[in-house]
Every structure is written in structure tokens, then in C-alpha cells.
Amino acid sequence: MAVDPARLLSYEIPEIVQDLTTRDTILYALSVGLGADPLDKDQLRFVYEDALLALPTMATVLGYAGFWLKHPDAGVDWVKVVHAEQGIRIHQPLPVEGRLVGRTRVTGLVDKGAGKGALLYSERRVTDVAGNLVATLDQTTFLRGDGGCGGTTGPAKVPHPTPERAPDLILDLETSPSQALIYRLNGDYNPLHADPGVATKAGFPRPILHGLATYGVVGHALLKALCGYRPESLKAMDCRFTAPVFPGETIRTEIWHEDGGSAAFRARVIERDAIVLSNGRAEVA
């Protein structure tokens, strides 16, 4: 049965209050590869408590409401749900500790037709307890099993175009074979990223890296290549997920300078020459 658009669009997602600790901030940075070079002083600032800084992409694990689409009241075929696009906008440098509040709401639905799935748009606003906006996150979820619901609220988002010329910058970052096992400690315990048996049943030869872990690795590349490791300089980052990464593979981020302080980017794994993130756009101060 197709999803009920009215019910899904008005679904109330619980507010999340999170007590962020410096340990959480360090764990996130380690889980996306910071600290791989223990002599790199720039990376050390994100994994060592002395004058600790928070990575901008840590916004993806702040005030997270969990896999709410699995709840029966959402009416979604949750087994066929895929994370399709992710965007963050940072309004002020992320804190390394403190109480934060996450409020998530559904913002739109695009029915692609029977057998073609639907696109669900949602927004999460992360604030401090005083109500000051820290970050806004936009997510597109592909509901593969819910096409034909007739619930379109507007046109689908137009992806940012990837330039057809050679990239201006290229940066390779290795992932570790245990990276998914570390990243899951941020709160995403999907066994697909840890259990070889579950991965095999899903059609993969071994557990895959979380999409948001790949997002974090690419965010690290942008921070290094465009911002000189100054987290306050990375203001926004949007992209599409196109293929999984296996822990241990090398992620190559390709970057193109654009007008107005923005950059286009995409990422591929070198070992398989597979594009894993596409249609990326970053805003840099």
C-alpha cells in the first residue's frame, strides 16, 4: 500500500535534547579519519581536548531524531528507504560541549510515480537551550517502495551541476578498515555497517561505510583544501549520495572553484573508480 501523504507530511517527530560532551566531539572527528597522522597539528586540534575544535560536519549527528521513518505511524516501507541527499548550513561554530536541541520536520514530498518511488524532504534545526540557531540540516530520503502515493508538494530539487572541466584541486584521504565500527558509536547502529552476514543479505560482499561517514571524510577534505582547517570558514555543504564506500578504501575529493566563495565537488573511491558523492556544493567564508 502506498504511503498516506497527508499523514506523513504532518507527522510529528520528537524533539531531541542532547548533552554534547568533549568526548563526543573527539569521537566524531576520529570516526571520520581525523588523527590518522598523529604528527599533524591541524588535525590534532579536533581530536585532543586542549583548545578543542568541532568539525562542521558533526552537525549531522547533533539533535538526531533516530530512524523515525521505521515507526508504523509514518506509514513508510522503511526497508526500502535510502538516504539520497544531505545538506548542512552552519550558523555559528559548533560547540565542543553543551546542551543542544534538535527539531526535525517533514518539509515536502515528491511522488515519482508507481514503481518509481518518492522523495521525502525534511529539515532539522539545531539550537542551543537559549534558542540560538546553531545549524540547519536538509535531507532527502528516497522512499523506493512508496511511489504512486500522489502526494507531490512541489518540484524535485535541482542538483548542483558538476563542472565538465578538470578539477582545480584533488585530495585523497584513506579510510581505515575499522572506520564503520568506530563511526557507528555516534549513534547509527545499523548492522549493515558491522555484521558481514547482514551485509551479504543486503547484496554487499562486506559491511559498508555509513553514508554520513563518507560525508564527513569529504567534509574533512573541503576543510583542509579550502579552509586551512578553520572550521568557521565552512558555511554550507550539500551533495548527493551515489554509491557506497567499503571501509579501507581511499576517497578522492575533486573540487572546482566557483564564483562568490563557493565550490563544486564530488568524490570517488580510487580502488574501484566509483563516484560515491556527486553534485556537491560548498560555501566558504
User: Rg for the chain (alpha carbons), in Å?
Assistant: 18
Rounded distance, CA 208 to CA 235, Å? 28
Distances from the Cα of 173 to the Cα of 180, 203, 257, angstroms? 15, 26, 20
Which of 33, 108, 147, 211 is an active site residue?
211
Give me the catalytic one of 26, 208, 251, 255.
Answer: 208
Of 90, 188, 251, 255, which residue is the catalytic one?
188
Asked if residues 172 and 28 have their Cβ atoms less than 8 Å apart, the reply is no
Options 160, 193, 210, 220, the catalytic residue: 193
Single out the residue of 146, 131, 210 nearest to residue 5, CA to CA: 146
Active site residue 193: yes
Reply yes or no on whether 154 is catalytic.
no
Angstrom distances, CA of residue 171 to CA of 46, 57, 234: 19, 18, 17
Cα separations (Å) of 48 from 34, 54, 99, 167, 264? 10, 11, 21, 33, 31
Cβ neighbours for 189, distance < 8 A, ≥ 6 positions apart: none
Active site residue 257: no
Active site residue 208: yes
Task: Write the single-letter amino acid at 148.
Answer: G
Q: Give catalytic residue positions.
A: 188, 193, 208, 211
